[in-house]
Amino acid sequence: MGPARHLALLGEHKGRAIEWPVPFADGIPLLLAQRGRRVVMLASGDPFWFGAGSSLTWHLEPGEWVAHPAPSTFALAAARLGWAVQDMTSVALHAAPVTRLRPHLVPGRRIVALLRDGTAVGEVAAYLGDQGFGASALHILEALGGPRERVRLVRADAPIPDDVEHPVAIGIDCMGEGRVLPCASGISDDWFDHDGQISKRPVRALTLSALAPRPGELLWDIGAGSGSIGIEWLLAHPANRAVAVEYDPVRATRIRTNADALGVDRIAILTGRAPDFLPDGVPDAVFIGGGLSQALLETLWVRLPAGRRLVANAVTLESEALLVRWQAEKGGHLLRIDLAEVAPIGSRRGWRASYPLVQWSVTL
């Protein structure tokens, strides 16, 4: 079993050839239907490095399979370009949007990305130009390790060859004056499109600190507004996951736009009002930014097992009183946040205070 281009390389053989369908997931039942027979599945490079390996072994028992890896595309790319694998960023864009590059666009950094076909090279080049990195060097890497191998160098803002052949990857030597996403929590508010319903930068930094994201964890962002908390949770680590719960459909659409723009499209969005609408499963952490109520806290306290983290922010006196009561009963930490920023007063300047905010953080 394998893609048509792999089967074509076999030449004459006595075995039965089964072409792997598109999309990839449709081929897994075909493979499992061959259980008990001797089957070879063909794939490029290292199947466990952005490859098909783990997607298949998830369905198989230990001892049912043996893998014979070859050098991955990333290893071949590094060998051709002279780049240290540990210092470059490896990204799979063959089944993902080009915006996944956004967090990695930093002058001086090097990226190797897998692409679905030759047309995608132009899409990446256009995206780099739109983000202010048109001066980046693009190494177009075609059919690495085979007789059709070819490596070409162009600038992202220059004409892209129209004869790029699959399989293809690109090496990006990032250059330009584009904006760079910081690594620290609390990125500038203007990274997000919003209607005013957004946790402002200092509050967001304190909230992310209280939520304490860890690799691979799931966040429920309830009353998500612009989605800024959930999005920064995802930016903290590429294995993190988030579900945004937002009752306003316009804001829910805006969350998707913000997430896509910042390269964390893997956020799920549930349109509805908590606690009537809550995601399935169990999160590692929950943030309540809007819609705080007695009913919501009671529901979460029943749904969440011990060890899960909850952070809630309150601005109104009623919400603050609710958090004070719950903290007295359940424990945790209360923090009052008073912020003021410089603003003009006639020809001079003074401090303009924001509404004070009370934050309750607790581990169940």
Whole-structure pTM value: 0.90
Residue where a domain terminates, one of 105, 139, 173 = 173
Does 324 lie in the same domain as 198? yes
Number of domains in the chain: 3
Tokens 């063909």 -> residue: 42
Does 281 lie in the same domain as 259? yes
Residue where a domain terminates, one of 70, 101, 130 = 70
Both structure tokens of 157:
């803002």
Does 100 lie in the same domain as 24? no
Does 85 lie in the same domain as 64? no
Does 213 lie in the same domain as 92? no
Q: Which domain holds residue 5?
A: 1-70
Structure confidence at residue 49 (pLDDT): 85
CATH number, domain containing residue 94: 3.30.950.10
Q: Angle at CA 79, nearest 5°, toward 77 and 85?
A: 75
Residue 35 in domain: yes
CATH number, domain containing residue 241: 3.40.50.150
Residue 182 in domain: no
Per-residue pLDDT of the chain (364 residues; tens, 9 = 90+): 998 888 888 888 888 899 999 888 899 999 999 998 999 999 888 888 888 888 899 999 988 999 999 999 999 999 999 999 999 999 999 889 999 999 999 999 999 999 999 999 999 999 999 999 999 999 999 999 988 999 999 999 999 999 999 899 999 999 999 999 999 999 999 999 998 888 889 999 999 999 999 999 999 999 999 999 999 999 999 999 999 999 999 999 999 999 999 999 889 999 999 999 999 999 999 999 999 999 999 999 999 999 999 999 999 999 999 999 999 999 999 999 999 999 999 999 999 998 999 999 999 9
Residues 6+ apart with CB under 8 A from 205: 184, 185, 186
List 50's β-bridge partners, or say none: none
Does 223 lie in the same domain as 303? yes
Structure confidence at residue 23 (pLDDT): 87
Does 256 lie in the same domain as 291? yes
Residue 179 in domain: no
